[in-house]
Amino acid sequence: MTDSSLLARVIVDPKVCRGRPYIRGAGIYIAIILDALFEGFTPEQVIDHYPSLVLDDIRAAVAYATTLAEENRGVAVINDQSHNNLF
């Protein structure tokens, strides 16, 4: 799955969830997914805890965070799919 199709799973709407990014259709905040991964949960464990998520949602959360980190460093990210190999 390409970055653009992964990132299409992420919604940021100031009128919804106070503008916090979340996964389309699941309503789970990106921050919740990233926190769980940081705490050592596997993607499968996150999905078990939030059954509305699928593996591509986890990938989308990581892709979104990667994109933000790169933008904040002033680095353009074009077709960088290195995070796809994490899971």
What is the pTM (predicted TM-score) of this model? 0.78
**Number of domains, the chain:** 1
Residues 36-64 have pLDDT tens digits of 999 999 999 999 999 999 999 999 999 99
The residue among 50 and 15 whose pLDDT is bigger is 50
Q: Which two tokens stand for residue 84?
A: 């796809």
Residue type at position 85: N
Q: What is the pLDDT of residue 58?
A: 98
d(CA 30, CA 60): 9
CATH number for the domain that contains residue 61: 1.10.10.10
The neighbouring-strand residues paired with 23 are 10
Cβ(28)–Cβ(53) below 8 Å: yes
Check whether 7 has a pLDDT greater than 90: yes
The residue among 64 and 72 whose pLDDT is bigger is 64
Give the structural domain span for 64: 3-86
d(CA 36, CA 33): 5
Cβ(46)–Cβ(35) below 8 Å: no
Q: What is the pLDDT of residue 34?
A: 98
